[in-house]
Amino acid sequence: MKIDSIQNGIVIDHIPAGKAMQVYQYLKLDEAEGSVALLQNVPSRKHGKKDIIKLDGVTELDWNILAFLAPDCTVNVIADGNTVEKKHLKLPETLTDVIVCKNPRCITTVEPGLHHIFKLANRETGVYRCVYCESAHN
């Protein structure tokens, strides 16, 4: 299989195998202006298999969403066919309107329009807690 290189855009590499579609959906890449190539189960020396997303013509993403879904991924920013920046993401301290509190007694379930805000409680395990009711999400 041959996927052409991109001239200006972003390559998201080292996505855990099988998670690329979830990243695609959360980042709303179906609405992207440029071309999107999604590669799944690509051989990887380090992890056995990985997923890759190539975005041609896309230069901005919500880094917090990407870091939440694939914290160990590598992001390569491409300009004029060359890698101009390489980012290694970390779990964000705060997530707003990315995940939803599952606690039926949480105020976010009865108050329409209230933002779903989660704070990182444990970086090692990736556990977030709702700022309103302290329910855990991992």
The first and second tokens of residue 110, run together, are: 């009865």
Cα of 33 vs its chain's centroid, Å: 18
pLDDT value of residue 133: 96
Where does residue 10 fall: left (phi above 0), alpha (psi -120 to 50 degrees), or beta otherwise? beta
Name the residue ranges covered by the structural domains of the chain. Answer: 9-88, 94-137
Whole-angstrom CA distances from 51 to 11, 15, 28, 39, 114 are 11, 5, 17, 6, 34
| pLDDT-based confidence at residue 1 (cuts at 50, 70, 90) | low
Say whether pLDDT at 106 is over 70.
Answer: yes
pTM of the model: 0.84
Residue 2 has pLDDT above 70, yes or no: no
**Domain 9-88 class in CATH:** alpha beta
Backbone angles phi, psi at 99, to 5 degrees: -120, 160
Residues 44-87: tens digit of each pLDDT: 888 899 999 999 988 889 999 999 999 989 999 999 999 999 99
CATH topology of domain 94-137: SH3 type barrels. (2.30.30)
